[in-house]
Structure 1
Amino acid sequence: MSSQLTTIPARHGIAVPLHAGQTIKVINTHGTQVVDTWAFTLSSFPPSPSSTIVTQMSMQHTRASLCRVIPKVGNGLYDNERRKMLTIVEDTTGGVHDTLMAACDKERYLELGGGEGHRHCAGNLVEGLGALGIKAPQFTPSPLNLFMNIPVHDDYTTLSFEAPTSKEGQYISLKAEMDLVIAFSACPQDILKINCGKPVDAHFQIL
């Protein structure tokens, strides 16, 4: 596949197949954008309208396998059958990402006062997979929130939503350990400061 840049449009979702051995570089183009990330194995590959999801990348299984809240270079990302789906092979961001927070959804924006029609990452997952003809899971999996800054505070119990620490053009690269589909959402959050209040495009490149 070409190594050209592909846009993850601000507030929208996109998904792409990855063959085992391929690496995808996810770029925080402006340095301020969180990218919710999911991965799935399918009943048939390459994806087709008859493909169904078999397993999904699981943050709870990944944390248990790594004994880490945030994975680092060399670590795997695991599915709900505890198989390594992806490996982090490079990270120029300083390693601040999140595995704890659920994807935003309609209910979250109603809770925050964002209104009924606010775009959200759960819907963006449906959008991205749907473009490949794949039906999204009934329940939105907890994503790997790339570039998201959710510090665990000194009391070991409280969290907060903070602006990304990544800089313009920094990136993380993930190597596929099996054939899979990876999905991204350029998070539409504009109420909290996790996207510095202004969602923007991000990009990826398949190597």
Structure 2
Amino acid sequence: MNTLNLQYANGVHQRAHAQTLPFLSPTVRNGIIVPGLPTLPPGVERYVVKGGGSVTVKVEQGDNITLVDKDGLQAAELVLFDDNGSSKAAYLGQTRGQPAQGLQQILSGTSTSAKRLHRSLSKHDIDIVNAEAVYIANTHSLPGEQQQFSAQVSGTLVVTAPGLPMQVDAQNPVSDIILFIERVNPTTKRIVSPAEPLADPLQDVNIQPGQARAYIVKKGQYVQIMDVQGRECSDFQAFDLRALDNNRFEDIDPTTTRALVGGLYPMPGLYAKYYSISQQPLLEIIQDTVGRHDTFGLACTAKYYEDMGYPGHVNCSDNLNIEAAAYNIPERKGWPAINFFFNTMNDDSNAIFMDDPYSRPGDYVLMRALTDLVCFSTACPCDIDEANAWNPTDIQIRV
């Protein structure tokens, strides 16, 4: 910190050295203050292969595959199955392969993720026992080192980051592998199937854009709201079922929720509940793979589209009214709702603005019902702004 040095001469203060005080100088910051999201070129997809886990991706002949050893010293294994379920190292442009021990090690486990992977591969009649893999030892790799391959056939690519739990006296923890797929046909529209269920669902419903669905969730049950294709908003509302039986409407109140959790929306942890206007907890957030949602705006309305020059546009509020009629819930011109995956922010002028959602294919919110509920979900049809990245897609609901 700059200081003022004062000398005393004959009882008179004399200024020997003076510099401008820091708090009188304008603040100067170098570099980027708020970095933006990294963007990938068109046709390039990014996947994270968790240490000890795997990722399954559909590839086409000619697609370029790049593996990045994020932290270094992490082995990787690639298996490319053709449409008949067989695999060869030659499918990845390699002359030598070996048994897919990493894949078999993961499948031999009893974890939920291992069971999901086994179910996924079984659906495609894949020969796991005789699978031939390309193994990358990476025994001396540095953080960020890359390996590149090219798909010689179309099929299903499985990438694993094999490894065992680290011993207390060792220094070999498993770490993540970053997988990039550069599509040979980047303009081809790819329809992503819903990810494997977290558990065997009681209800498994797909909502197409421009539609809404009502469904019952009992106390203690879990509801998963999944963005299947990525960057799609889903309005959500839940009513206390027993209150409805008594002609009372106890639904999620966004204002009450924000006040009680002290945040824009609940997140997993201590402040994780959605509340009704009478301050009764209705749902608890268990997992949230996105962390960016909206609780301020209404579900999209007919008036919004009319004001934007699109009269008669299908909208979430009207769709919710149609579903709510079966439960004798009065119509609302605009529904206060939790808009999952809707990316809104406040700017410096206190205006609310939006941008493309952060959600990627398969991202989801998992909640636990704290009482018997009737829930409503939509797949937003908005195609006139960034709300759904200009391209409405489907939402998957699982209970």
TM-score, with structure 1 as normaliser: 0.88
What residue in structure 2 maps to residue 144 of structure 1?
Answer: 338
Confirm whether residue 192 of structure 1 aligns to residue 385 of structure 2: yes
- What does 1:14-53 correspond to in 2, within 5 Å? 14-43=213-242, 52-53=247-248
Confirm whether residue 183 of structure 1 aligns to residue 379 of structure 2: no
AA aligned to 1:21 is: G
Among 267, 282, 292, the residue aligned to 1:96: 292
The alignment yields a C-alpha RMSD, in angstroms, of 1.9
- Max radius of gyration: which structure? 2
- Hey, what's the Cα distance between the residues in 2 that align with 1:158 and 1:17? 37
Quote the offset at 1:53 in angstroms: 4.8
- Hey, what's the Cα distance between the residues in 1 that align with 2:253 and 2:228? 26
Native 8 Å contact 2:243 2:249 kept in 1 = no
Identity %, equivalent residues: 27
Q: Using a 3 Å threshold, how does the CA distance of structure 1 residues 69 and 44 change in structure 2: closer, same or farther?
A: closer
- What does 1:44-123 correspond to in 2, within 5 Å? 52-74=247-269, 75-93=272-290, 95-115=291-311, 117-123=312-318
Q: Using a 3 Å threshold, how does the CA distance of structure 1 residues 44 and 70 change in structure 2: closer, same or farther?
A: closer
Native 8 Å contact 2:321 2:331 kept in 1 = no
AA aligned to 2:208 is: P
Cα offsets for 1:156-175 (capped at 9, x unmatched): 61221211011100111011
SS at match of 2:314: coil
Native 8 Å contact 2:238 2:375 kept in 1 = yes
Quote the offset at 1:197 in angstroms: 1.1
Moved over 6 A (4+): none
Moved more, 135-144 or 193-202: 135-144
Q: Using a 3 Å threshold, how does the CA distance of structure 1 residues 184 and 167 change in structure 2: closer, same or farther?
A: same
Among 160, 171, 179, the residue aligned to 2:353: 160
What residue in structure 2 maps to residue 202 of structure 1?
Answer: 395
AA aligned to 1:112 is: M
Quote the offset at 1:142 in angstroms: 1.0
**Residue ranges of structure 1 left out of the alignment (5+ in a row):** none
SS at match of 1:31: coil
What residue in structure 1 maps to residue 209 of structure 2?
Answer: 10
- Hey, what's the Cα distance between the residues in 2 that align with 1:167 and 1:85? 27
What residue in structure 1 maps to residue 34 of structure 2?
Answer: none
TM-score, with structure 2 as normaliser: 0.47
Quote the offset at 1:52 in angstroms: 4.2
Q: Using a 3 Å threshold, how does the CA distance of structure 1 residues 56 and 91 change in structure 2: closer, same or farther?
A: same
- Hey, what's the Cα distance between the residues in 1 that align with 2:246 and 2:300? 26
